[in-house]
Homo-oligomer: A and B are copies of this chain.
Amino acid sequence: MITLWELKGREDRRYSVFSWRARLALRHKGLEFESQPVLLSDKKAIEFSGGKTVPVIRDGERVVRDSWKIAEHLEARYAERPTLFGGPIGQGLALAWNAWVDRVVVPAMMPVIVADVHERVDPGDDAFFRKQFEGYLKMTLEESRAQRDKALERLQRALEPVRSTLKRQPFVCGQAPAYADYVLFSPFQWARVMCPLDPLGADDPLAAWRERVLDLYGGFARKVKTA
């Protein structure tokens, strides 16, 4: 059995943007796992991993930290199961895609939802979260909420290239989902679990794509505690 360490919010919400990549990669491979919820501020709980961030998995004797490394590990160790990358070209390109999502989409989503996320983190993370994200944003969470409309516009613009792609094919990876879909899905799931506002309009091709990802694996990502 694989164990996954991931962030725990109020009412047992699972909100870590990067852990959702690992969760869906595990399901894609048809692998069961046991969730180990940890607080954002509790670095002791994952000290064994050699790092300070989740996700971390233990798979037999192997400990792997970082969502990308976890995906690489699962693809290599479970090569006979459904592929996450579809071979070396797809894997290389998925790394470039991952970098785009991390450097463009996640930072664009963050100011849209961060004040709502804060209200739903574990009470033990309240002060830690505020300090970390206010440092990142260079403004208070309250100021960030007041500027949400502008942040939402920036997010919409950043997503434009994907929107045009999803008018032409059902998934980022073509006719069927693969790892690059889970990477892009992760900030939307972060939002869904922690923020009552939907950043996507109902007519957005991204909203229809998100529904398709939510349907996967028996509604695995749908059936969780949301905002």
Contact B164 A89, beta carbon cutoff 8 Å: no
A31 within 8 A of B: no
Chain B residues with CB under 8 Å of A174's CB are 88-89, 91-93, 95
A86 within 8 A of B: yes
Chain B residues with CB under 8 Å of A85's CB are 89
**How close is A71's CB to chain B, nearest CB, in angstroms?**
13
**Closest Cβ neighbor of A167 among chain B residues:** B99
Chain B residues with CB under 8 Å of A86's CB are 86-90
Chain B residues with CB under 8 Å of A104's CB are 161
**Closest Cβ neighbor of A170 among chain B residues:** B92
Specify which of B91, B95, B97, B102 is in contact with A96 (CB 8 Å cutoff).
Answer: B97
Counting contact residues on chain A (CB < 8 A from B), the size range is 20 to 34
- Known contacts A86-B86, A88-B174, A175-B88: A97-B93 contact under CB 8 Å: yes
**How close is A25's CB to chain B, nearest CB, in angstroms?**
14
Complex: how many Å from CA A90 to CA B173?
7
Contact B180 A96, beta carbon cutoff 8 Å: yes
Specify which of B99, B160, B168, B175 is in contact with A165 (CB 8 Å cutoff).
Answer: B99
A172 within 8 A of B: yes
Contact B172 A100, beta carbon cutoff 8 Å: no
**Closest Cβ neighbor of A68 among chain B residues:** B168
Residues of A whose CB lies within 8 Å of any CB of B are 83, 85-97, 99-100, 102-104, 160-162, 164-165, 168-169, 171-176, 178, 180
Can you list 17 pairs linking A and B with CB atoms under 8 Å apart? Answer: A86-B87, A87-B89, A88-B176, A89-B173, A89-B174, A89-B178, A89-B180, A92-B172, A92-B173, A93-B93, A93-B173, A95-B165, A95-B168, A99-B161, A102-B161, A103-B161, A104-B161
